[in-house]
Amino acid sequence: MGQGDFRLSDVELDASIGRSTPDVEHERAVAIFDLVEENSFEPIGHAGGPYRLKLSLVDSKLVLGIATEGGEDVATHILSLTPFRRIIKDYFMICESYYEAIRSSTPSRIEAIDMGRRGIHNEGSQTLMDRLDGKIRVDFDTARRLFTLVCVLYWRG
């Protein structure tokens, strides 16, 4: 199988996730588009995809359901969200500050908040990569986009 086969071709968020604010909906749509457009996703021990990923929350746990494009089940991984709770809480707080700043603050203040937001987002992305270690191999950009979706799930969960 070629290297291009270790990628996601489709990402779906659990249907039970309701609609959110326009800002969160925009983040979700952009993250899914960017993720499908460019990603590196390799379930350990599987011959190759492309893959379809369904993300959901069950009993405060993140469920990653992985299937081939043809619908054949590959794996289901269940991750505790406990290691993410503080990071996600901090991320939501700084995102609220960021969206407020966009409406009323100076460019330097917006930039400072955005740097903090990116730092927390990077921390969450690294935590996700660590939690997936030995299960799914992803690059950092893929982990960043997945972390955005985890935040959206958590926000509704």
For 90-147, the pLDDT digits (tens) are: 998 998 899 899 999 999 999 999 999 999 999 999 999 999 999 999 999 999 999 9
Domain span holding position 120: 3-156
pLDDT-derived band of residue 15, with 50, 70 and 90 as boundaries? low
pTM here is 0.87
82 phi, psi to nearest 5 deg = -50, -45
Give the tokens for residue 134: 């030995």
Which residues touch 55 (CB under 8 Å, ≥6 apart)? 11, 12, 13, 14, 62, 63, 64, 65, 149, 150, 153
For 47-98, the pLDDT digits (tens) are: 888 999 999 988 889 999 999 999 999 999 999 999 999 999 999 899 889 9
Q: How many domains does the chain have?
A: 1
Find the farthest-apart pair of alpha carbons in the chain and give their distance in angstroms, rounded: 51
